[in-house]
Amino acid sequence: MVDLSICIPTFNRVYYLNNCLNSIKLANKNSDLKVEVCISDNCSSENVEHIVEKYKDDLNLTFNKNEQNLGMGQNILKSVSMAKGNFCWLLGNDDIVLSDTFEKFKILMRKDNNIDFFYVNSYHLDILYLKKFDYPINPKNINFKDMKKFSNYTNSKKMNFFELFDPKVSYEFMLSMFLCIFRRKIWIEGLDAIDMTKVSENSQYSNLHNTAPHSLVWARGFKDKKAYFSSDPLTANVHGPRSDDWGNIYPFVEGVRIPQILDNLKKEGMSFFQYVKCKNFALRRLIPSFFYMIKNKESSNLEYVNIKKDFFYNLIFPMVYISLIKLILKKIFKNIKSFLKLN
């Protein structure tokens, strides 16, 4: 039986995929955890098959290539559908697994059979720093000790699933799929949260279902389950390639889709107090995000915004105004400082 399925929805970026698979191969040698790798290629123009072929003798590897690009949402779902493991882990093709990751997860997994969802920390790894090392990367050669972590929350502990949604733990409320390891059978039970018509829309991030289907499934399937937060990073996420993907759309994702994730969590049973706390934090850049989208309306996904629901309804939260005042004051002080330097 497979303990852990690494599910990688990929599209191009073979440089990063090679690093990712090499790190999995090396970590696999350091553990007896039964691991499989499921790769779903979303009709890449780059030669993904060549990279995958390199690792077929070293990894229990399953590969799928979509005949056409199905969009990110469908490809995420496809990669997990290929899995046979007790647990699944959705990794980006630019994530790097650390040398002792599988051994550490084995300890976590066997520590408590009642835990169905693991939220694991990650290091921020700058792409320029990464390129200083031999390719494909060997994580043992990298000093992660002083690197910034994705989450600054230091208290590793068992908790209820909804407790993971806290600005101190996950400032983007699990939009980033690569931090979450989840029991596969419960994922399957939660798939009824997905509207396949919406997930099949091929316009990038045109609705919540094709932007973050994983978030919807987790909220439905795991809402009454036990989870565990691990402050100890098990991966490094590479800064650079993801920002290329988001591009002009990130203000839309931050100002519209992340608040919608929280609205869905409330619908699935998150307490009102926790919802208000998280939503207030999530809306800290609402007005700047909308200014950006309006200014760049041709490329910022403004066409998919419901102005009434996504903007006006959210104006009741005080952080919208507090953060705006802070931003204005910061710019004023910056200009004063620049003026004083010139004089």
> What is the mean pLDDT, run by run of 10 residues, along the chain of 343 residues?
97 96 97 98 97 97 97 96 98 96 96 96 92 94 92 95 94 91 98 97 92 97 98 90 67 96 98 97 96 94 97 97 87 79 69
Task: Note whether 326 and 184 are same-domain residues.
Answer: no
Taking each helix axis from N to C terminus, what angle separates 14-29 and 101-111, rounded to the nearest 10 degrees?
60
Task: Note whether 192 and 321 are same-domain residues.
Answer: no
Record the pTM. 0.94
**Total domains, the chain:** 2
Task: Note whether 105 and 208 are same-domain residues.
Answer: yes
Strands (E), the chain: 4-10, 35-41, 60-65, 87-90, 95-97, 115-126, 157-160, 180-183, 226-239
State how far the alpha carbon of 198 is from the alpha carbons of 66, 174, 194, 247, in Å: 19, 20, 8, 23
Task: Note whether 132 and 276 are same-domain residues.
Answer: no
Asked whether residue 96 is domain-assigned, the answer is yes
Tokens 């596969």 -> residue: 184
Task: Note whether 201 and 324 are same-domain residues.
Answer: no
In this structure, what CATH number is given to the domain that contains residue 142? Answer: 3.90.550.10
pLDDT of residue 239: 76
Asked whether residue 252 is domain-assigned, the answer is no
Nearest to 170 by CA among 70, 50, 282: 282
- Final residue of a domain: which of 222, 239, 256? 239
Asked whether residue 11 is domain-assigned, the answer is yes
Task: Note whether 225 and 88 are same-domain residues.
Answer: yes
pLDDT of residue 331: 81
pLDDT of residue 330: 83
The separation between CA 136 and the C-alpha centre of its own chain, rounded to angstroms, equals 23
Pairing of strands 4-10, 95-97: unpaired
Task: Note whether 21 and 141 are same-domain residues.
Answer: yes
Write out the residue range of the structural domain in which residue 315 sits.
Answer: 264-342
Task: Note whether 180 and 270 are same-domain residues.
Answer: no
- Final residue of a domain: which of 223, 239, 255? 239
Task: Note whether 37 and 176 are same-domain residues.
Answer: yes
pLDDT of residue 145: 87
Contact of 73 with 209, CB cutoff 8 Å: yes
Task: Note whether 312 and 198 are same-domain residues.
Answer: no
pLDDT of residue 248: 82
Please measure the distance between the N-terminal and C-terminal CA atoms of the chain and give it in whole angstroms.
Answer: 71
Asked whether residue 20 is domain-assigned, the answer is yes
